[in-house]
C-alpha cells in the first residue's frame, strides 16, 4: 500500500506466524487469568510451537525490523516461561523442565527462566540440582554484569535450603547426604555473595539515593553495556559513566536504577547530589558539592576543610575506604565534575547532563535516546493500567507517539489520564492531536511540566543561539543543514554552525549526521510557541522568505543540469541576495535533491500555505524533472496540487498553465487519464493567447500521450502529425516532446515502420544533444517496437542497453515498461522462467512508482507467460486482476487484453463463456483500431468451427 514518502506491505494477520502467535499468547494469558489451566496450556503450547527458528532468519534487517525481531523474541521467551508456569501449576514439571533448560542454556543471564527451573526442580524433589542452577546463574551474573541474583532467586534458594534442612532428620542416610550437599552448596553461595559485595569492614553503609521508580522499563541495552563496562575497568580505575540527553529523556531515572543494580557490588555508600547545571545562578560549585557529599558519608561538618584542594583530598581518602556508587545529577560541565571524581578503583560514578561533556581523562558521554514505541507503551501501561492499554492498543501507540516517546511526557500524559477514569485513551489522543490547546498543555502535572524541563535547557543559552532555536520551529521539514539555518536566520554559515553545535551539546537539537540536524517533535512545539510569543511576524516572514529563496536557487541549479535550456525559460528568478549559501553546497547534482527530497515536498506545501505563492509553484516546477525521472509521481501530484492553488492565487496565467501541464504528467503515469485530460485541456485553454508559443505547443503535444493512454489512438496520431506540421513553431526543442508520443501511438495501431522512424529521429536528437534521459527513452521505445515486429534477439539487446544506461545515470523513468517488454521477448524465445521474472519485476516496480497502467500491462503479460508454462489457473487469476485494475483506471487497451486472456481460459471448458469475453475484447480492439482485433477475430472463428464440429 502506497503511503506518503514510502510504502507499506499489508497482509492478512491470519497468514503471518507472528500475528497468530501473539493472538494465541494473549488468549492463553486470559485463560490463565480466568483460572482455566487446561485451556491456557493448550493455547500457550500452540503459540510456542509456532517458533521453528529465529525470526526473519537470513534476511538483512534495518533498524526497524531488527528491533521488531528482538521484541518478538522477547515475547516468545515470555510465552515459554508462562507456559512453564502453567505446567508447574498443573503438576507437569516433566514438561516444564526440558524447555526451561533450553531457555536457560540459550539465555544464561535470564533470571525468570532460572527461577522457574529452580521451582520445577524443587517441585520434583531435586533440590541439589535446583541449588546448582542458582549457583550457575549467580556466577554468570557476577562474571558478566558484576551483580548478584535478584531478590526472587535469593528468596527461593533460602526456601529450598530451609525446606531441605527441615526434612533432613527424617530422611534415610542417602537423602541426608544429599541434604548436606545442598546445605554446603547454599553456604558456599552465601560466602561467594559476601565476597562479591566487597564490603569494607568497619564502615557503616549509607544510602542517599532517591527512591527508585517502581515502573522502570526498557533501557536494557544501555544498562547491560554500562554494567559490562564497569566490570571491565573497575579493577584498574574508578568507573565513570556520563549520560547525556534531552530534557525528560529519563537520564536521572536510569542513573538511579543503575546505581541500585550496582549496590550489591558497591555496598558501603550510595550517594546522590543534584548539581543544578541548568542555570548559571543555581549551579552547585565543586566546593559546595564536596561538603554535601562528605556529609552524606558521615564526615562531621567541623572536619570538612576550608580549601577546595583539601576537601578533594579528604573526599578521595574517604572513598578509598569504601566501595561506593555515586550519582552526580544534572552536571553543567566536565570542569564541575572533575574535582568530584575518585582516585582509587573503589567507586563507580554515574553522571547525568543535558549537555555533551568531554574530558580527556573520562570516557566519552553516551547520549540517551528517546524510548522505542514498545518501551513507551509499556511505560504508559504502568501509569494508566495494563487493562486500559490492552483495550485500546492503537490509541496507546498514538498517545506515546504524540509524546515523542519521551519518558517524562509519557509519565505526565499517563498521570493526566490516570486521574480521569472516565476518559478513554482515544480521548486523550484526540485532544493531543487537536492543537487547541497546544500539545504541550496536556503534558503537565502540578509543578512538573515538559515546558518547564525544556525551559531549563533553553534559558541559559546566549541570545543569538536562543533566536536560532526559535526560528528552527519555522523550518518546514525534518532535516535541516547549517546552510538552511543560515538562510533562515540571516547569520553567516559559521555563526549558524556554531549555534547549532551549542544546541546539540545541550540536547535541544539532534545531530543526525555530519551535515544534517533534527528537532524532536515536542521540542519543535516548544520552539514554535517561543517564536510566536517573542519574535515579530515580520522577522519570521523575512526568515521564511530567505529560506525559500535559498532552496529555490539550489533546486534551480540542479534542474539546469537535468533540463538545460528549458527550466530557466519557464521559471524566472526571484530576488535572493545570498549567493554564497548556494555556492557552499558545491557541485549541483541530483543526489542533493534526493537527500532533500522529503523536505522539498514540505517546502512547496509550506510556501503555498503561508502565502509565499511565487516560491511554491516555482519550487514545484524546479523539482519536477527530478521526481519524474526517479518515478516519484506521487510527489509530483502532491506538490503540484498545492503549487496550482498558489499559482491561481497569484493570478499568473502562464504559471497556472505550466502547473496544470506538469500535474497532468503525473496523472498520466499513474493511470488517472481523466484527471490528466482535464488539466492538459485547462493548460491549452490558458495558454491560447499567451506570447509563450513554445509552451502552448508543448501542452497541445502532450495531449497525444493522454489520447494514447485513454485508447484514442487515431486521435493521438492525428494530433501528433498536426504538431509535426507546426515544427517551425517548436524548433529543435520540440523534438523530444513530439516524436516519442507520436511513435507510441503509431506502435499501438500496428504502424511499426512509421513508429521506428519517429523513435530513431528521437534517438538521433538525443545523441546529438548528449541527453542521456532521452537516449534511454528512445532506446526503450525502439526495443518495444522490435518486440512487436518479432525481431526478438535485437530487441533484447536494445532493451538491455536501455536498462544499463538507467543503471549508470540513476534515471528510473519507465523501467517497469522496459522490463515488461523484455519479458515478452524472452517468452517469444521460449525462455519462460526469465520472462516470468521480468514481468514480476515490472509489476513490483510499477506498484512502487504508482504506475497503474503499467501494472495492468505487466499482469496481462505475466498471465500469458504463465499460460505458456501450463499454469492456466494462475494465468486466469492474473488476467482477472488486470481487468479489475484496467477498468478502475479506464485503460481500454489493457481491458481488452485482459478479456482476451480470460477468454483463453474458458475456451477449453466453456466455449460460450469464452465467446462472450472475446466479443467484449473485440469491441474494444475495433474501437481503438489496434492489431489485436485480428487475433481476436481468428480466435472467435476457430471457436465457431470447433462448436460446429461438435454439433456435427
pLDDT tens digits, 163-197: 766 654 443 333 333 333 333 333 333 323 333 34
Banded model confidence at residue 885, pLDDT cuts 50, 70, 90: very high
Q: Is the CB of residue 218 less than 8 Å from the CB of residue 233? A: no
Residue 290: is it exposed, middle or buried by C-beta count within 10 angstroms (0-12/13-18/19+)? buried
Q: Give the span between the Cα atoms of 893 and 673, in whole angstroms.
A: 13
Q: 56-88 in b/e burial notation, b at 16+ Cβ within 10 A?
A: eeeeeeeeeeeebbbebeebbbebbbbbbbbbb
- What does the DSSP assignment read for 44-100? HHHHHHT--SSTTTTS---HHHHHHHHHHHHHHHHHHHHHHHHHHHTT-HHHHHHHH
Q: Give the span between the Cα atoms of 707 and 151, in whole angstroms.
A: 77
Q: Give the span between the Cα atoms of 107 and 117, in whole angstroms.
A: 13
Tally Cβ neighbours within 10 Å of residue 580.
Answer: 11
Q: What pLDDT is recorded for position 203? A: 63
CA 179 to chain CA centroid, Å, is: 57
Which of these ranges, 161-165, 314-318, 666-670, 894-898, has the smallest mean pLDDT? Answer: 161-165
State the Rg of the chain over Cα: 36
Q: What pLDDT is recorded for position 867? A: 94
* Secondary structure (3-state) at 437: coil
pLDDT tens-digit map of 534-544: 999 999 999 99
pLDDT tens-digit map of 27-52: 888 888 888 888 888 888 888 888 76
Q: What pLDDT is recorded for position 192? A: 30
| Residues facing 351 on adjacent strands | 242, 328
What's the distance, Cα to Cα, between the start and end of the chain in Å?
A: 54
Residue 857: is it exposed, middle or buried by C-beta count within 10 angstroms (0-12/13-18/19+)? buried
Task: Give me 774's grid cell.
Answer: 532521452
The secondary structure element, H or E, covering residue 334 is helix 334-337
Which of these ranges, 61-70, 385-394, 458-467, 516-525, has the smallest mean pLDDT? Answer: 61-70
Banded model confidence at residue 875, pLDDT cuts 50, 70, 90: very high
pLDDT tens-digit map of 231-252: 888 888 889 999 988 888 888 8
From 603, 806, 865, select the one nearest 857 (Cα to Cα).
865
**pLDDT of 509 higher than 90:** no
Q: Give the span between the Cα atoms of 595 and 289, in whole angstroms.
A: 48
CA 299 to chain CA centroid, Å, is: 53
Which 8-state DSSP code applies to residue 269? Answer: E
Q: What pLDDT is recorded for position 547? A: 95
Task: Give me 401's grid cell.
Answer: 507517539
pLDDT tens-digit map of 662-703: 999 999 888 888 899 999 999 999 988 888 777 887 888 888
Edge-to-edge strands, sheet with 366-367: 206-207, 269-274, 324-329, 347-353, 239-244, 366-367
Task: Give me 875's grid cell.
Answer: 494465468
Q: Is the CB of residue 270 less than 8 Å from the CB of residue 451? A: no
Q: What pLDDT is recorded for position 199? A: 54
Q: What pLDDT is recorded for position 174? A: 35
Which 8-state DSSP code applies to residue 304? Answer: S
Average pLDDT value for residue range 797-821: 91
Kind of pairing between the strands at 448-449 and 444-445 = antiparallel
Which of these ranges, 203-217, 293-307, 462-476, 621-635, has the smallest mean pLDDT? Answer: 203-217
Q: Give the span between the Cα atoms of 243 and 865, in whole angstroms.
A: 60
Q: What pLDDT is recorded for position 51? A: 75
Q: What is the dihedral of CA 554, 556, 560, 563, to 10 degrees?
A: 140
pLDDT tens-digit map of 596-605: 988 999 999 9
- What does the DSSP assignment read for 622-676? HHHHHHHHHT-HHHHHHHHHHHHHHHHHHT-HHHHHHHHHHHHHHHHHTT-HHHH
Task: Give me 246's grid cell.
Answer: 534531552
Task: Give me 482's grid cell.
Answer: 547549517
Average pLDDT value for residue range 306-314: 90
Name the most confidently modeled range: 126-140, 381-395, 890-904.
890-904
Which 8-state DSSP code applies to residue 240? Answer: E
Tally Cβ neighbours within 10 Å of residue 565.
Answer: 10
For 44, 48, 342, 399, the CA distances from 378, given in Å and listed in that order, are 22, 22, 37, 12
For 80, 104, 178, 188, 220, the CA distances from 116, given in Å and listed in that order, are 11, 10, 22, 22, 21
Q: Give the span between the Cα atoms of 387 and 26, in whole angstroms.
A: 12
Average pLDDT value for residue range 913-933: 91
**pLDDT of 76 higher than 50:** yes
Q: Is the CB of residue 108 less than 8 Å from the CB of residue 73? A: no
Which 8-state DSSP code applies to residue 332? Answer: -
Q: What pLDDT is recorded for position 186? A: 34
Residue with more model confidence, 67 or 745: 745
* Lookup result for grid cell 544506461: 805
| Residues facing 241 on adjacent strands | 350
Q: Give the span between the Cα atoms of 540 and 871, in whole angstroms.
A: 65
**pLDDT of 731 higher than 90:** no
Tally Cβ neighbours within 10 Å of residue 143.
Answer: 12
Q: Which long-range contacts (CB under 8 A, 24 or more apart) does 876-880 make?
A: 876/901, 876/902, 876/905, 879/905
From 749, 755, 784, 785, select the one nearest 934 (Cα to Cα).
749
Q: Is the CB of residue 9 less than 8 Å from the CB of residue 65? A: no
Amino acid at each position: 500500500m502506497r503511503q506518503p514518502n514510502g510504502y507499506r506491505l499489508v497482509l492478512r494477520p491470519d497468514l503471518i506466524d507472528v500475528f497468530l502467535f501473539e493472538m494465541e499468547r494473549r488468549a492463553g494469558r486470559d485463560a490463565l487469568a480466568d483460572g482455566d489451566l487446561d485451556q491456557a496450556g493448550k493455547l500457550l503450547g500452540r503459540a510456542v510451537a509456532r517458533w521453528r527458528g529465529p525470526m526473519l532468519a537470513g534476511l538483512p534487517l534495518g533498524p526497524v525490523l531488527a528491533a521488531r525481531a528482538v521484541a518478538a523474541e522477547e515475547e516468545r521467551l515470555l510465552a515459554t516461561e508462562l507456559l512453564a508456569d502453567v505446567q508447574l501449576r498443573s503438576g507437569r514439571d516433566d514438561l516444564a523442565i526440558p524447555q526451561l533448560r533450553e531457555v536457560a542454556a540459550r539465555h544464561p543471564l535470564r533470571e525468570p527462566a532460572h527461577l522457574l527451573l529452580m521451582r520445577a526442580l524443587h517441585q520434583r524433589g531435586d533440590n541439589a540440582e535446583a541449588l546448582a542452577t542458582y549457583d550457575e546463574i549467580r556466577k554468570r551474573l557476577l562474571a558478566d554484569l558484576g551483580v548478584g541474583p535478584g531478590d526472587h532467586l535469593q528468596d527461593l534458594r533460602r526456601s529450598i535450603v530451609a525446606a531441605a534442612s527441615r526434612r533432613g532428620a527424617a530422611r534415610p542416610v542417602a537423602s541426608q547426604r544429599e541434604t548436606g550437599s545442598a546445605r554446603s552448596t547454599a553456604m558456599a553461595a552465601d560466602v561467594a555473595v559476601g565476597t562479591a559485595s566487597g564490603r569494607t569492614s568497619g564502615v557503616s553503609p549509607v544510602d542517599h539515593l532517591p527512591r527508585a521508580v517502581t515502573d522502570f522499563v526498557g533501557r536494557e541495552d544501555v544498562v547491560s553495556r554500562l554494567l559490562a563496562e564497569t566490570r571491565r575497568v573497575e579493577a584498574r580505575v574508578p568507573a565513570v559513566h556520563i549520560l547525556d540527553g534531552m530534557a525528560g529523556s529519563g537520564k536521572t531515572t536510569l542513573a538511579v536504577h543503575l546505581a541500585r543494580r550496582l549496590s550489591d557490588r558497591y555496598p558501603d555508600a550510595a550517594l546522590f547530589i543534584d548539581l543544578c547545571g541548568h542555570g548559571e545562578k543555581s549551579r552547585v560549585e565543586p566546593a559546595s558539592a564536596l561538603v554535601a557529599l562528605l556529609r552524606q558519608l558521615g564526615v562531621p561538618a567541623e572536619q570538612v576543610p576550608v580549601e577546595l584542594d583539601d576537601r578533594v583530598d579528604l573526599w578521595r581518602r574517604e572513598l578509598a575506604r569504601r566501595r561506593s556508587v555515586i550519582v552526580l545529577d544534572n552536571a553543567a560541565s566536565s570542569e564541575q565534575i572533575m574535582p568530584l571524581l575518585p582516585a582509587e578503583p573503589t567507586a563507580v560514578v554515574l553522571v547525568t547532563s543535558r549537555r555533551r561533556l568531554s574530558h580527556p581523562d573520562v570516557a566519552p558521554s553516551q547520549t540517551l535516546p528517546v524510548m522505542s514505541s514498545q518501551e513507551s507503551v509499556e511505560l504508559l501501561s504502568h501509569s494508566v493500567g495494563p487493562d486500559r492499554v490492552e483495550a485500546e492498543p492503537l490509541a496507546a501507540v498514538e498517545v506515546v507517539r504524540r509524546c515523542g516517546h519521551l519518558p517524562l511526557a509519557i509519565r505526565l500524559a499517563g498521570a493526566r489520564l490516570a486521574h480521569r477514569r472516565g476518559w478513554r485513551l482515544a480521548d486523550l489522543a484526540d485532544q493531543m492531536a487537536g492543537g487547541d490547546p497546544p500539545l504541550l498543555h496536556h503534558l503537565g502535572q502540578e509543578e512538573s511540566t515538559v515546558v518547564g524541563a525544556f525551559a531549563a535547557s533553553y534559558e541559559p543559552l546566549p541570545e543569538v543561539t536562543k533566536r536560532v532555536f526559535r526560528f528552527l520551529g519555522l523550518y518546514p521539514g525534518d532535516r535541516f543543514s547549517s546552510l538552511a539555518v543560515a538562510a533562515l536566520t540571516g547569520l553567516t554559515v559559521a555563526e549558524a554552525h556554531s549555534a547549532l553545535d551549542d544546541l546539540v551539546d545541550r540536547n535541544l537539537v539532534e545531530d543526525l549526521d555530519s551535515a544534517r540536524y533534527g528537532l524532536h517533535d515536542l521540542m519543535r512545539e516548544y520552539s514554535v510557541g517561543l517564536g510566536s510569543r517573542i519574535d515579530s511576524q515580520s522577522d519570521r516572514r523575512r526568515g521564511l522568505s530567505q529560506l525559500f529563496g535559498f532552496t529555490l536557487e539550489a533546486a534551480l541549479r540542479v534542474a539546469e543540469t537535468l533540463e538545460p535550456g528549458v527550466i530557466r525559460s519557464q521559471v524566472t528568478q526571484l530576488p535572493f541576495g545570498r549567493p554564497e549559501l548556494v555556492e557552499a553546497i558545491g557541485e549541483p547534482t541530483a543526489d542533493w535533491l534526493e537527500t532533500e527530497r522529503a523536505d522539498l515536498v514540505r517546502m512547496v506545501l509550506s510556501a503555498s500555505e503561508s502565502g509565499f505563492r511565487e516560491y511554491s509553484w516555482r519550487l514545484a516546477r524546479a523539482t519536477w524533472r527530478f521526481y519524474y525521472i526517479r518515478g516519484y509521481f506521487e510527489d509530483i501530484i502532491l506538490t503540484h496540487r498545492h503549487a496550482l492553488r498558489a499559482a491561481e492565487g497569484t493570478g499568473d496565467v502562464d504559471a497556472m498553465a505550466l502547473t496544470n501541464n506538469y500535474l497532468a504528467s503525473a496523472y498520466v503515469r499513474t493511470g488517472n487519464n481523466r484527471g490528466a485530460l482535464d488539466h492538459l485541456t485547462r493548460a491549452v485553454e490558458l495558454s491560447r493567447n499567451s506570447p509563450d508559443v513554445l509552451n502552448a505547443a508543448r501542452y497541445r503535444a502532450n495531449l497525444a500521450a493522454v489520447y494514447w493512454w485513454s485508447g484514442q489512438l487515431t486521435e493521438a496520431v492525428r494530433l501528433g502529425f498536426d504538431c509535426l506540421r507546426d515544427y517551425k513553431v517548436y524548433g529543435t526543442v520540440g523534438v523530444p516532446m513530439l516524436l516519442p508520443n507520436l511513435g507510441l501511438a503509431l506502435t499501438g495501431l500496428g504502424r511499426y515502420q512509421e513508429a521506428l522512424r519517429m523513435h530513431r529521429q528521437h534517438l538521433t536528437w538525443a545523441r546529438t544533444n548528449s541527453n542521456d534521459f532521452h537516449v534511454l527513452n528512445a532506446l526503450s521505445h525502439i526495443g518495444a517496437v522490435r518486440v512487436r515486429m518479432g525481431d526478438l534477439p535485437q530487441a533484447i539487446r536494445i532493451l538491455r542497453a536501455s536498462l544499463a544506461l538507467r543503471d549508470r545515470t540513476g534515471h528510473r523513468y519507465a523501467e517497469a515498461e522496459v522490463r515488461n517488454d523484455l519479458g515478452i521477448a524472452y517468452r517469444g524465445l521460449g525462455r519462460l522462467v526469465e520472462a516470468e521474472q521480468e514481468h514480476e519485476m515490472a509489476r513490483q516496480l510499477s506498484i512502487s512508482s504508482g504506475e497503474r497502467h503499467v501494472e495492468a500491462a505487466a499482469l496481462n503479460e505475466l498471465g500469458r507467460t504463465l499460460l505458456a508454462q501450463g499454469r492456466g489457473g494462475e494465468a486466469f487469476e492474473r488476467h482477472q486482476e488486470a481487468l479489475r485494475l484496467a477498468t478502475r483506471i479506464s485503460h481500454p487497451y489493457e481491458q481488452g487484453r485482459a478479456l482476451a486472456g480470460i477468454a483463453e481460459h474458458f475456451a477449453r471448458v466453456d466455449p460460450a463463456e469464452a465467446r462472450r469475453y472475446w466479443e467484449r475484447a473485440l469491441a474494444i480492439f475495433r474501437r481503438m483500431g489496434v492489431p489485436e482485433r485480428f487475433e481476436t477475430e481468428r480466435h472467435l472463428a476457430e471457436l465457431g468451427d470447433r462448436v460446429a464440429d461438435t454439433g456435427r
